Chain A
Amino acid sequence: MTPDAKRWRAIGQILLLAAGLVVLTFISAGSVHLVNRAREDARWVLHTVEVENQLSLAQLQLHRAESAQRGYLSTLLPDFHTDFEEAASALTPALQRLSQLVSDTPAEKRLVDEMLPLVNQRIEEFRNTIELALTQRVDDATRAVREGIGRDAMKHIDDLASQMRTEEDRLFVERTTNADRTQSLAASMTWVGSGFVVVLAGISILLVRRSARARDDAEALLRDNNLNLEATIDERTADLREANDEIQRFAYIVSHDLRSPLVNIMGFTSELEQLHADIFKRIATFARASASPAPVVAAETEPVLEAEDKQLAQDFSEALEFIKSSIAKMDRLISAILNLTREGRREFEPVRIDTRELIEGIVTTVAHQAAEAHAQIRVEPLPHIVSDRLALEQIFSNLIDNALKYLKPGVPGDISIRGRTKLGFAIFEVADNGRGIDPKDHRRIFDLFRRAGAQDKPGQGIGLAHVRALVRRLGGTMSVSSELHSGSTFTITLPIKWTGSNWKRAS
């Protein structure tokens, strides 16, 4: 997957989440709004019912007042009078309440305003008739009732009331419809919102699953890559091992094959030497024979040559000597290579080694040389390590030999072997106060057959090359720090626990 596509996918997920949030907020706000509206609608429906109720109450009080008036007029019982007063006094607040309730609808307000004087007029009429009855003019009163004074007003009031009721009924229907609509709107909104949320959730799940799958794929790829990497490393290690083995075999074969002609050169050179002796013996014999027929000199005695022949014989011998010394040197070099390859073929065996004890053993063997060189060797406490004993012996005896070999003339030698541990490695230092090594030779001295400084000591230039090869095979490194005339310090870093697994040979 390209980085671009990844970014777009991430942005898509964020957008999706944002959209989900917006939809939820919108639905919540809508629901709250609709619920509020439904409550309002319900209140209005309730209001209608209350108005109708109040209207009925007012009409009831009016009719009650009328009944009480009729009752009083026919019986003159004071109870009816009291009744009437109660009804009349209840009527006014009822009407006021009604007027308040309908204040929102101007049409009804108008009806109530129209109704109010009529009702008051009716109450006044009732009260007048009662007053007449009280003042013993019952006949006038009954006549007034009988004549139907105020009947029209009463009818008008009922008309108005029924108009109001009709209006309220209409309002009721309207408001109920409103409430229903609001409710169904809220319900549908909830449904649609829920649907949205479900859809968004579905898409989210899909996306999450897709990215989870992408992650799994990436993990699998990573795992495969790791395996591939390991395989590649194994392959390379095998290649390196093979190359190393090949170099070892090469060195071995070359040194062998070089040795064969060397045997011939040496052999026939010796034969030549033999011949040389025979030839010059004969020359001497002939020379003497031609000079004077003296008795033959015994063959065993050294031939006496003339000056010219003597020179020839010397040149001949000199040439042969050069050839022989060169052959001897070549033989030493070839033997050295053979020994190195043989070392390279030896199996190392990791064992626990008391390094200090091992080095003290080496110091004992070189005690004589040290005494001759007026040198003291100090071995400080050293860490124990697991490594190959023979290799370690060769490493340290080479370094100590070198330190003793290249001391400064006239200065008592001081050689110290120190050790410490760091991060699973043991670091050993072999330090001397000898003649030192020029920094430009620091690399050279580790090369095979290369030496540095004054060539006044015997040696093949093999020791340090050998030491470095051993240290490497033991999984370590080595380095030198030195200045001319101011001593040298060789530092060797070896694993504390060498298992032999690195550099394990296949063969």
Chain B
Amino acid sequence: MSQPVTIIMIEDDEGHARLIERNIRRSGVNNEIVPFSNGTAAVNYLFGSDGTGLDQKGRALLILLDLNLPDMSGIDILRWVKENRYLKTAPVVVLTTTDDSQEIKRCYELGCNVYMTKPVNYDRFANAIRQLGLFFSVIQVPAAAT
């Protein structure tokens, strides 16, 4: 990665968060990972206190998003991110247990960049996350729009 990309991980299940982080690290990705266990905290961080997202101006972000959050729907966060002029260029990886085709279609329509279903089988899960990590290490992430 040409810039220090920060990975924003929005995942309410701490176990999942831990497993994801471990497997990403195992794939050799050393970027900063900022975890959030609920939607509100993540939204506050992403859009700042004024809700404009100006704080993130010029930063390179990659968002890992779970759809089933306790306080709000991940789909709403996805929509807000993709509607925000500073954040819309940040790649969003939806990583969730839902494998409903309607849901997947909806996420892509809203501008999600990658949709992944968490496999229950841990080997496959670990493998998927490691591949995602490899993916992170090769993709280019633009800085948030100026």
Contacts and interface: CB of A to CB of B under 8 A. Distances in A.
Given A256-B68, A267-B125, A342-B100, A262 B120 contact: yes
Given A256-B68, A259-B97, A267 B13 contact: no
Contact of A260 (B68, B100, B121, B122): B68
Nearest to A338: B99
Contacts of A262: 120
B65 to A, nearest CB: 15
B97 A267 contact: no
Q: Size class of A's contact patch?
A: 10 to 19
Contacts, number: 49
Interface in A314-367: 327-328, 331, 342
Given A256-B68, A263-B97, A263-B125, A268 B13 contact: no
A266 B121 contact: yes
A263 to B, nearest CB: 5
A259 B123 CA distance: 16
A331 B120 contact: yes
A270 interface: yes
Contacts of A136: none
A137 to B, nearest CB: 162
Contacts of B22: 271
Contacts of A331: 120-121
Contacts of A270: 122-123, 126
A264 B13 contact: yes
Given A259-B120, A263-B125, A268 B15 contact: yes
Interface residues of B, number: 16
A267 B98 contact: no
Contacts of B16: 260, 263-264, 267
A269 interface: yes
Interface string A257-282: 10111111011111100000000000
A256 B98 CA distance: 7
Interface string B93-132: 0000110100000000000000000101111011000000
Given A264-B15, A328-B121, 13 more contacts: A257-B68, A260-B16, A260-B68, A261-B13, A263-B16, A263-B97, A263-B118, A263-B120, A264-B13, A266-B125, A268-B19, A271-B19, A331-B121
Interface of B: 13, 15-16, 19, 22, 68, 97-98, 100, 118, 120-123, 125-126
Interface of A: 256-257, 259-264, 266-271, 327-328, 331, 342
25 contacts: A256-B68, A257-B68, A259-B97, A260-B97, A261-B15, A262-B120, A263-B13, A263-B15, A263-B19, A263-B125, A264-B13, A264-B15, A266-B120, A266-B121, A267-B15, A267-B16, A267-B122, A267-B126, A268-B15, A269-B122, A270-B122, A270-B123, A270-B126, A271-B19, A271-B22
Please provide the 10 A-B residue pairs with the shortest distance between their CB atoms, ordered closest to farther. Answer: A264-B15, A270-B122, A267-B19, A266-B122, A331-B120, A267-B122, A259-B97, A263-B118, A260-B13, A262-B120
